[in-house]
Amino acid sequence: MMVITDAPDLPPGRLPAVNAWRPATREELTPGDSMLLEALGSGRALRVGDVADPGARDFWARLMIVSEAPSSQFDILQDLLRRGKPLPGPVACLALEGRNFRGHRGHSWMAFAGNLHLCLAFPASGLPVRLSAALTMMPAVAVAGAVRDLCGATIRPGIKWVNDIMVEGRKLGGVLTATQVLGDVFTHVLFGIGLNVAVAPPLEPSRFVAGTASLNEFRSDLTLADTLGAVLRHIEKYYGKLMRWEAGAVLEDYRAASVILGREVCVWEEDDAEGPSAVPLFRGVVRAILPDLSLQLEGVDQPVTRGRLSLP
């Protein structure tokens, strides 16, 4: 996999090890690489290298590493796909720092050096739209699996519906998913992944997030490069399952990692959820997570398909 970066002088552990770095200019890059790098906001001198295994050896074509992203790389990549711009194969885009990032439903998200700010874009190869729920679950399951691999039995990462990665009741990260569809198949998939590795961002406690955590609290020698490699490996692993139509395996792992099954939850209207006088739409014990990712709550007749969830 080719690595293209404008950040050549970072300490060890921030960038994956490469066979050899070489200086490069934009003119030396392919049109697709140059277009993507310009869109992501890099204006510095470039270096290019080849890395044998930053994640999955045979899946990722490019890793773009930008020192500082001026805006959300997820939004940038989504806009490029909407405009039909060709991306250079399955591509991973890593921002070492950045501004104006966002999480689920547009909530602001703070970026800190040493944390993982990763966007992944790749062709979906005709994946059927009926697997959309499994595709939404996939990045959360993959990140939880990567954290387990990195930290072993030290912690037990979990998933809070729909896409929060949790540890010990605190938020460790989150994921976003966007897709392009043609007829009844996906044509492209885009994931946004934020994971606190070095720093737990300060966050005012709310009914939805009691606090934040970072991986370095549990494994102090863990590097950003280690984390990147583990996440890329697990994304490739679970994407392979979907391409083999093993959506049931993804759902099973999502359920196994869930922190809400068997617990009482409140589900709030998204727009009014923060208000002190807000009233939850639903309240009850989660009896099941259904294949379409909806929740079956005790005492609630219909499956819950929308809203923002809290644990009382």
Q: List 268's β-bridge partners, or say none.
A: 308
Q: Which domain holds residue 277?
A: 265-310
Q: What is the pLDDT of residues 219-247, one digit of tens each?
A: 999 999 999 999 999 999 999 999 998 99
Residues 132 and 272 in one domain: no
Residues 173 and 63 in one domain: yes
Going by C-alpha positions, the residue among 63, 22, 61, 71 that lies closest to residue 45 is 22
Residues 101 and 176 in one domain: yes
Per-residue pLDDT, 105: 61
Per-residue pLDDT, 101: 76
Per-residue pLDDT, 53: 58
Residues 272 and 242 in one domain: no
Residues 242 and 199 in one domain: yes
Residues 246 and 299 in one domain: no
Q: Which residues of the chain have pLDDT under 70?
A: 8, 10-14, 42-43, 52-58, 102-109, 272-277
Residues 291 and 165 in one domain: no
Q: What is the pLDDT of residues 137-179, one digit of tens each?
A: 999 999 999 999 999 888 999 999 999 999 999 999 999 999 9
- Other residues' Cβ atoms within 10 Å of the Cβ of residue 51: 19
Residues 141 and 269 in one domain: no
- Other residues' Cβ atoms within 10 Å of the Cβ of residue 265: 23
Residues 165 and 57 in one domain: yes
Residues 298 and 194 in one domain: no
Q: What is the DSSP string of 36-102?
A: HHHHHT--S-EEEEE-S-SS-TTT--EEEEEEEESS-HHHHHHHHHHTTPPPSSSEEEEEEEESSEE
Residues 71 and 152 in one domain: yes
pTM of the model: 0.93
What amino acid occupies position 292? Answer: D
Indicate which CATH number applies to the domain containing 195: 3.30.930.10
Per-residue pLDDT, 126: 84
Taken in order 110, 116, 118, 124, the sign of the CA dihedral is negative
Per-residue pLDDT, 79: 93
> Is the CB of residue 127 less than 8 Å from the CB of residue 135?
yes
Residues 124 and 253 in one domain: yes
Residues 6+ apart with CB under 8 A from 270: 105, 306, 307, 308
Number of domains in the chain: 2
